[in-house]
Amino acid sequence: MSISHRKYLLILAMLFAGVWVALAVSPLYREDWMLENFLVVAFVGALAASYRRFPLSRVSYTLIFLFLCLHEVGAHYTYSRVPYEEWTQALFGRSLNEVMGWERNHYDRLIHFSYGLLLAYPIREMFLRVANVQGFWGYFLPLDVTMSTSMIFELFEWGAAALFGGELGMAYLGTQGDVWDAHKDMALASLGALTAMGVVAAINLSLQRDFAREWADSLTVKQAEPLGETAIARMLERR
């Protein structure tokens, strides 16, 4: 028997609660852990509050769950100190950084890529169900929102680092001396979202009979008359 939507979400919630509690015990840097979890608490609270009126699909909740679990690992160790080198050394007997030719801790890069890869689909679901977007816009707008929110988060990091300063600010910022860190983070989030939308488009292309027609219809002009000053003039005439 299939698990009900409510029961499936409850299982995910309990699993995440277990992960959160486990990784809340003795984090490497408690102040940074608290800062990293500020947005998590707000986000999870918003998901819980919206469940009755706007439940997402199991796919969306699963993708969100995976992203939050990855984030909690980074919050526990601080992103620049996640010991994946030790993990890969213990599992495979090889250093991942050595194999890839990396010189820094790249866990934060994984998270930024995962942000786009795992959250673009839930964003797409919201656009389809709330704004009723179709065709091209159902793929472009999730990518656009991922890119813009990634930029906003980089500004948030900058503001937090400037506000708190010192060791906490640098731990939260996590640039590791790379002056292009913010640009690379935004590029990876965009690449993740582009990958996710490419996969969704490929699936829909193979399963949706009217895919091409819907895509073409979404790019046709719906309003022939220009807006701007013309629309303002029309509204003034109707007063």
- The mean per-residue pLDDT over the stretch 71-88 comes to 93
pTM (2 decimals)? Answer: 0.91
Confidence of residue 230 (pLDDT cuts 50, 70, 90): confident
- Given a cut of 90, is residue 217 above it in pLDDT? yes
- The mean per-residue pLDDT over the stretch 155-181 comes to 71
CA angle 178, 166, 173 (to 5 degrees): 35
- Given a cut of 80, is residue 171 above it in pLDDT? no
Confidence of residue 166 (pLDDT cuts 50, 70, 90): low
- The mean per-residue pLDDT over the stretch 87-108 comes to 90
Structure-token match 């820094």, residue found: 104
List the single range of 26-30, 56-60, 138-142, 192-196 with lowest mean pLDDT: 26-30
- The mean per-residue pLDDT over the stretch 40-57 comes to 95
Can you give the pLDDT at residue 142?
98
* Distance in angstroms (rounded) separating the CA atoms of residues 233 and 190: 39
- The mean per-residue pLDDT over the stretch 17-42 comes to 93
Can you give the pLDDT at residue 1?
44
Distances (CA, A) of 165 to 27, 155, 157, 158, 160: 20, 15, 11, 10, 8
Share of the chain above pLDDT 90, in %: 69
Give the domain extent around 96.
5-238
- State the total domains in the chain: 1
- The mean per-residue pLDDT over the stretch 85-92 comes to 92
